[in-house]
Amino acid sequence: MRLGGRGHLVYQRRRERKWCRRVILQEDVEIPARSQVDVPGKVVFRGRPNCDDDLQWGTKPVTIINGVHVARTLAPNDRFTDLPVRVMNVQRQPLTVRAGTVISDLKPLTIVGTYAKDEP
């Protein structure tokens, strides 16, 4: 690259995945064709988990394998195993997803309000 008439070497850095919490599949599951199910997830941490914060965490909607999509799921702050995560298989055949597959990174969410069923 040339800047100000001088040549400079430029190196591309290896892309690092930045995450601090993510959900992996806890056990092998078969997702029926054209259906949605809750699969058991396990939260894994990079670094030391901070469980004392006031943040809420939720999955990021992503595609984990061709035809299998993850819905946004709010994750309780005190639960790190058996976390139900909604996934949908849009394929015409059932698909098996193996334990340890990354389902989604967890992202901090801001709760803007709550409501009760009795409220209009």
Q: Which CATH superfamily is domain 14-109 in?
A: Deoxyuridine triphosphatase (dUTPase) (2.70.40.10)
Task: Please give the pLDDT value at position 49.
Answer: 55
44 DSSP β-pair partners = 22
- CA dist., res. 104 & res. 82, Å (int): 15
Task: Please give the pLDDT value at position 99.
Answer: 96
User: 80's torsion region: left (phi>0), alpha (psi -120 to 50) or beta?
Assistant: alpha
Burial class (CB in 10 A: 0-12, 13-18, 19+), 87: buried
Task: Please give the pLDDT value at position 40.
Answer: 96
| Cα–Cα distances in angstroms (integers) from residue 90 to residues 6, 41, 69, 97, in the given order | 54, 20, 8, 14
Mean pLDDT by groups of 10 residues along the chain of 120 residues: 70 58 94 96 77 73 94 86 95 95 88 68
